[in-house]
């Protein structure tokens, strides 16, 4: 089987990545730029890097994570389990598990449209002034938002920045996106819904700025990019999915409990 490894880059992660590479090659697998399996060594951030590195191979690639820090939602293998992981990859004793992604379409004044995908979330901010924009759902006006910004998250990303903003935790088997406000302005003059919105896969939210301005858009908290001359930003559940190689049960709600309530025993 062809494989690739994406490492966080610290000394420990690099050593584990090298050790796993040697074990997989000894088992007859091939290091490749067109991998069937991509192993992330680090944490959830490293998994997001692996996703974006191989984003053009979503239909052909399975992801699996080894965590070298705290237990993550995507990285669930321990560094001392490399032999077991090598054996299970070799025997192909895994189950593909797919999670929804968010599609972001950025429409420009010149008529062009840019398309991005995110595994966790897309954030829209305006650091120079208050973000003012109209939100429409299925092309039906919903509200005018005023505040710091908006976070549009996937179910698997709902435990990340979305949760910090007060959004709901959503099981990744639910095909939906969540729109969560960042410090919205609510007073006698300006009002927003003031609660996260969970939209099913056949609904699209359109975000239309009131004035010509420059936005800061970040996808999975990779480097924020500046976008100008934007007419609208449309977000919906993408037709593509990200697929993980699940070698053993690791229930989502157990991950939630162990990450936020109590450490696993």
Q: Which residues are catalytic?
A: 44
**Is 10 within any annotated ligand binding site?**
no
Report how far apart, in Å, the C-alpha atoms of 198 and of each of 120, 170, 258 are.
Answer: 15, 9, 25
**Is 2 within any annotated ligand binding site?**
no
**Is 121 within any annotated ligand binding site?**
yes
CA–CA gap between residue 97 and residue 156 (Å, rounded): 12
Q: Which of 198, 206, 56, 185 is nearest to 124 (CA)?
A: 206
Q: How many residues does the chain have?
A: 265
Residue 52 near residue 220, CB atoms below 8 Å: yes
**Is 222 within any annotated ligand binding site?**
yes
**Is 44 within any annotated ligand binding site?**
yes
Please give the annotated binding residues for NAD(+), written as ranges.
Answer: 44-45, 120-121, 146, 148, 183, 222
Please give the annotated binding residues, written as ranges.
Answer: 44-45, 120-121, 146, 148, 183, 222
């Amino acid at each position: 089987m062809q494989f690739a490894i994406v490492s966080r880059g610290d000394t420990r992660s690099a050593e584990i990545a090298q050790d796993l590479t040697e074990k997989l090659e000894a088992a007859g697998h091939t290091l490749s730029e067109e991998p069937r399996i991509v192993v992330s060594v680090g944490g959830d951030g490293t998994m997001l890097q692996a996703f974006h590195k191989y984003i053009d191979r979503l239909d052909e690639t399975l992801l699996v994570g080894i965590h070298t820090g705290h237990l993550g939602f995507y990285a669930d293998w321990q560094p001392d389990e490399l032999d077991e992981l090598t054996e299970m990859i070799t025997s192909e004793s895994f189950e593909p598990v797919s999670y929804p992604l968010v599609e972001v379409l950025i429409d420009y004044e010149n008529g062009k449209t840019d398309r991005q995908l995110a595994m966790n979330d897309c954030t829209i901010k305006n650091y120079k002034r208050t973000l003012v924009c109209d939100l429409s759902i299925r092309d039906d006006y919903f509200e005018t938002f005023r505040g710091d910004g908006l976070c549009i998250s996937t179910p698997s990303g709902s435990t990340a920045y979305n949760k910090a903003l007060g959004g709901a935790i959503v099981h990744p088997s639910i095909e939906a996106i969540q729109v969560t406000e960042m410090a919205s302005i609510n007073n006698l003059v300006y009002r927003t819904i003031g609660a996260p919105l969970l939209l099913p896969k056949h609904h699209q939210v359109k975000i239309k700025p009131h004035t010509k301005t420059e936005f800061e858009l970040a996808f999975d908290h990779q480097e924020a990019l500046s976008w100008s001359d934007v007419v609208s930003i449309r977000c919906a559940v993408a037709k593509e999915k990200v697929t993980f190689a699940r070698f053993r049960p690791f229930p989502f709600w157990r991950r939630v409990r162990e990450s936020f309530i109590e450490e696993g025993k």
